[in-house]
Chains A and B, each alone.
Chain A
Amino acid sequence: MPLRIIARLDIKAPNLVKGVRLEGLRKLGDPSRFAEQYFHQGADEIYYQDIVASLYNRSSILDLVTHTAQNVFIPLAVGGGIRSEEDIQNLLRAGADKVCINTAAVKRPMFIQEMAERFGSQCITVAVETIRQSKDHWEAFTDNGREHTGLDAYDWAQKAVELGCGELFITSVDHEGTGDGFDMDFIHRLSPNVPVPLVVHGGAGHPSHILEAAQAGVDGVAIAQLLHYERCTIADIKQACQEHGTEVRA
């Protein structure tokens, strides 16, 4: 299966935001414009992460999805603050193809099974945020790496699959933003042992990092900083993949 190159956009509706060292978050403007750009540049998928994930105002992310779906004709995944069947129904109907759940799944794991049965497992991705605690142990976190769960990340990922999620989206919180590469130790442990598609995120700084992840057998890589900072284009990444024997859609 060709490696999926996924553009990840952090959303603080109505803006795309990016973390800037010492500054916090910088607003970049309308996320759907960026999504369109990445679509035309050959991205295989767009992933919107709602980093505010408000309990009350869900309409702005729905508006964004609705608008994006009018001009972007590749798969669209949405994560952040998805708590209920209604949230999922609304997002899918607005044009999202899959939703990514973390906190809601940790709080009540059966939610994964129920939503996979209701909507189809291919619509339900479980996001696992990892922070390495020791040589052999990674803990799963929620809320962009701020809240401990006490769960072993590897075991939790396996459980999520058993409960019926169609895909795993693993973010390495400690690698994210460093540009030093993905958390290959965790990926090497998990990748051979998952029967569902696996997407990894956090740490890509150079196309060689994507090649590394591909060689470890992941199905997709999500890139944020690398694209938003324009250090690299999707074409650069795909070219590097092709030159090194990793099949991509081109």
Chain B
Amino acid sequence: MSANVMVVDYGLGNLHSVVNAIRKLGHTAVVADEGLQLAEADRLILPGVGAFGDGMRELRRRGHDRELGQLTALGVPLLGICLGMQMLFESSDEHGFHSGLSLIPGSVHRLDQNIMKVPHVGWRRLHPSQDWQGSFLEETPEGTFTYFTHSFEAKPKNADALLAFVESGEHKITAAVRCGNIFGAQFHPEKSGDMGLAILDTFCNFS
């Protein structure tokens, strides 16, 4: 089954990697820069690498913030990846205070370099914070390795928004979130090998 996936382009990083991965899986990837066409997408992906403030500025400049709000309200599933996941939240303190898309209650904060190396770079095993059934992780074996590269962490206000975590020593880091039809992955599924591709495939296929 081939899904129509709209990948939001707002000028920040890793767009082609996500598009390549979607196409490799046999789905249709459409790059959306000039306005998101409401009728066309089965799924939305918001990728992103870089700074929260820059990302939000570029999303707002293109009107994507409004459009994402409208599309998700209509029930289109959305997956935010890395910075894309962080921007789903209300705010971040990266380089000053910035407001996000506020699609998920909570905020984004710098990882503590007193407890771990920052940026957090490498492969970590995913653990469930809640049952993964009905989410983009529903086919993923517990403990699957995925690739992380980030300096900031999203902290959901509500515990039921936490989908998965990874561990750095005894410290837990938010790895995946959900809020209705809105999902987020702090890791990069498009860079997490075959298991990562499988996660993207589930996002494209699950109902």
* Residue in B14, B24, B124 whose beta carbon sits within 8 Å of that of A97 in the complex: B14
Q: Determine, out of A64-72, A78-86, A106-114, A182-190, the stretch whose residues face the partner at the interface.
A: A64-72
Q: Are B191 and A73 in contact (CB under 8 A)?
A: yes
- B196: A residues at CB distance < 8 A: 73
Question: Would you call A145 an interface residue if the criterion is a C-beta within 8 Å of the partner chain's C-beta atoms?
Answer: no
* Residue in B13, B113, B194 whose beta carbon sits within 8 Å of that of A119 in the complex: B13
Q: Are B16 and A69 in contact (CB under 8 A)?
A: yes
Q: Tell me the count of chain A residues lying within 8 A, CB to CB, of chain B.
A: 34
| Closest chain A residue, CB of each to CB of B190 | A73
Question: Would you call A19 an interface residue if the criterion is a C-beta within 8 Å of the partner chain's C-beta atoms?
Answer: no
* Residue in A4, A39, A92, A122 whose beta carbon sits within 8 Å of that of B193 in the complex: A39
A66 to B168, CA, bound (A): 33
Question: Would you call B35 an interface residue if the criterion is a C-beta within 8 Å of the partner chain's C-beta atoms?
Answer: no
A195 to B115, CA, bound (A): 10
Q: Are B123 and A249 in contact (CB under 8 A)?
A: yes
- Known: A74-B191, A75-B147, A94-B16. Is A119-B123 also a contact (CB below 8 A)? no
A1 to B124, CA, bound (A): 7
Question: Would you call B149 an interface residue if the criterion is a C-beta within 8 Å of the partner chain's C-beta atoms?
Answer: yes
Question: Would you call B151 an interface residue if the criterion is a C-beta within 8 Å of the partner chain's C-beta atoms?
Answer: yes
Question: Would you call B202 an interface residue if the criterion is a C-beta within 8 Å of the partner chain's C-beta atoms?
Answer: no
| Closest chain A residue, CB of each to CB of B200 | A73
Q: Tell me the count of chain B residues lying within 8 A, CB to CB, of chain A.
A: 34
User: Using an 8 Å CB-CB cutoff, how does the interface string of B93-136 with A read, 1 for contact, 0 for none?
Assistant: 00100000000000000000100011101111000000000000
- B191: A residues at CB distance < 8 A: 73-75, 97
- B30: A residues at CB distance < 8 A: none
A196 to B118, CA, bound (A): 6
Please classify the interface of chain A as helix (H, G, I), strand (E, B), loop, or mixed, using the class held by over half of its residues. loop
Q: Are B123 and A4 in contact (CB under 8 A)?
A: yes
- B15: A residues at CB distance < 8 A: 93
A4 to B50, CA, bound (A): 23
A98 to B149, CA, bound (A): 10
Question: Would you call A170 an interface residue if the criterion is a C-beta within 8 Å of the partner chain's C-beta atoms?
Answer: no
A194 to B118, CA, bound (A): 10
- B123: A residues at CB distance < 8 A: 1-2, 4, 44, 249
Question: Would you call B2 an interface residue if the criterion is a C-beta within 8 Å of the partner chain's C-beta atoms?
Answer: no
| Closest chain A residue, CB of each to CB of B20 | A70
- B50: A residues at CB distance < 8 A: 118-120, 123
| Closest chain A residue, CB of each to CB of B196 | A73
A75 to B20, CA, bound (A): 14
- B193: A residues at CB distance < 8 A: 39, 73-74
A residues with CB within 8 A of B:
1-2, 4, 39, 44, 66, 69-71, 73-75, 92-95, 97-98, 117-123, 166-167, 194-197, 219-220, 249
8 residue pairs of the A-B complex, CB under 8 angstroms, read A2-B145, A70-B20, A73-B21, A93-B13, A117-B95, A120-B49, A220-B122, A249-B123
B residues with CB within 8 A of A:
13-17, 20-21, 24, 49-51, 95, 113, 117-119, 121-124, 145, 147, 149-151, 168, 188, 190-194, 196-197
New A-B contacts (5) at CB < 8 Å, excluding given A44-B122, A167-B119: A1-B122, A44-B147, A66-B16, A119-B13, A122-B151
